[in-house]
């Protein structure tokens, strides 16, 4: 909860056990600066707090570079069935990999030889030799990228 | 942009609205220490900044422990086709789960029957059933683990 007794954006709480970044305050880590959490230390975001990585920021876990992972379930419309293709906008611009699984109206996997392509973050699932785009199909999709 | 008028690694901007960690400066969170972002607070990483979780560090979202998610698209080589098998080094050492989707040269899903195994983070995709490892097939893969 905010302490309104201080007018400064950044201050040491009484007893100096806590450095507070008040509303409007800021901690800036310039290029070459660092925040280190040693073993047993922690960084916690409460409900309603936000962690944002801008485009070009990197995030790695145990040496593995992380990307955005997005996904969803798309219900095929009658128009898409008529067009024999479904286009799903993933929200990413460069996709590293995609996975698509199509279930029919009774939840049976019917992906078989669906024609799956990706361009600039949009995934297109179209008729294959056996696979047919049908209204009411559920397309479970996931994509990893940036 | 860096403020070069300060010689200290960590300093308070005039007016105390901002704490700056300059190049070479550091904020250390020792064991038992914490950085808390309260509701409405935020932590933002600009383009070019990096967030790194070392091996053994944990990362949880709403109580759910997160793992690395990696993925990519592997194009089958002639040698792999001749060997009827291919290996994909995920960069992880212990996989919790993985997903593989193979597209043929016409982008049709063709995974059915493929023999897929994991050994210490390396995915192996081999002939199985009607599936044959074929040059220029695209192997879309995701792996979750550490």
Question: pLDDT digit string (tens) for B25-63?
Answer: 889 999 988 998 988 888 999 999 999 988 888 888 888
pLDDT exceeds 70 at position A7: no
**Which residues have C-beta within 8 Å of that of residue A114, sequence separation ≥ 6?**
A100, A102, A125, A126, A127, A128, A131, B108, B109
Query: Would you state the pLDDT for residue B54?
Result: 87
> Contact A128/B109, CB-based, under 8 Å?
yes
Task: Identify the residue with better confidence: A135 or B25.
Answer: A135
Nearest Cβ partner for A96 among B45, B54, B73: B73
Q: Is B66 helix (H, G, I), strand (E, B) or coil?
A: coil
Strands A50-53 and B42-45: parallel
Nearest Cβ partner for A42 among B1, B34, B52: B34
pLDDT exceeds 80 at position A1: no
Residues B19, A15: Cα–Cα separation, whole Å:
19
Nearest Cβ partner for A46 among B23, B38, B103: B38
Tell me the residues of chain B between 53 and 82 that have a Cβ less than 8 Å away from chain A: 53-57, 59, 66-73
Residue A102: C-alpha distances to residues A23, A138, B110, B141 (Å): 47, 6, 13, 17
Chain A contact probe: residue of B9, B38, B57, B74 with most A CBs at under 10 A: B38
Chain A CA closest to residue B146: A62
| Residue indicated by tokens 């990413």 | A92
The domain locations on chain A are 68-145
Query: Would you state the pLDDT for residue B5?
Result: 60
What burial class does residue B137 get, using C-beta atoms within 10 Å of its C-beta: 0-12 exposed, 13-18 middle, 19+ buried? Answer: buried
The domain locations on chain B are 68-145
Residue B143: C-alpha distances to residues A23, A91, B26, B59, B128 (Å): 40, 21, 34, 17, 21
At A122, is the pLDDT very low, low, confident or very high (cuts 50, 70, 90)? Answer: very high
pLDDT exceeds 70 at position A69: yes
Where are the alpha helices (H) located in B1-141, listed in sequence order?
78-83
């Amino acid at each position: 909860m905010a302490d309104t007794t201080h007018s400064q954006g950044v201050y040491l709480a009484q007893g100096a056990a806590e450095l507070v970044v008040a509303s409007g305050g800021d901690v800036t880590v310039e290029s070459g600066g660092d925040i280190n959490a040693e073993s047993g230390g922690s960084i916690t975001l409460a409900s309603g707090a936000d962690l944002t990585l801008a485009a070009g920021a990197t995030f790695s876990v145990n040496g593995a570079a992380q990307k955005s992972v997005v996904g969803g379930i798309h219900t095929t419309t009658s128009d898409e069935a008529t067009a024999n293709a479904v286009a799903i906008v993933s929200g990413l611009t460069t996709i590293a990999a995609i996975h698509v699984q199509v279930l029919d109206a009774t939840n049976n996997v019917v992906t078989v030889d669906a024609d799956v392509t990706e361009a600039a973050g949009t995934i297109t699932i179209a008729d294959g030799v056996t696979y047919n785009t049908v209204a009411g199909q559920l397309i479970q999709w996931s994509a990893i990228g940036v | 942009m860096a403020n070069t008028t300060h010689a200290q690694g960590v300093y308070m901007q005039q007016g105390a609205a901002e704490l700056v960690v300059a190049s070479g400066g550091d904020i250390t969170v020792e064991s038992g220490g914490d950085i808390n972002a309260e509701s409405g607070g935020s932590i933002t990483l600009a383009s070019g900044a990096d967030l790194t979780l070392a091996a053994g560090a944990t990362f949880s979202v709403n109580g759910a422990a997160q793992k690395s998610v990696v993925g990519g698209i592997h194009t089958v080589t002639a040698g792999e086709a001749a060997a009827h098998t291919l290996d994909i080094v995920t960069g992880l050492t212990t996989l919790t789960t993985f997903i593989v989707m193979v597209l043929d040269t016409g982008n049709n899903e063709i995974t059915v029957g493929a023999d897929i195994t994991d050994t210490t983070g390396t995915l192996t995709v081999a002939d199985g059933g009607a599936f044959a490892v074929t040059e220029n097939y695209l192997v879309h893969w995701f792996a979750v683990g550490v």
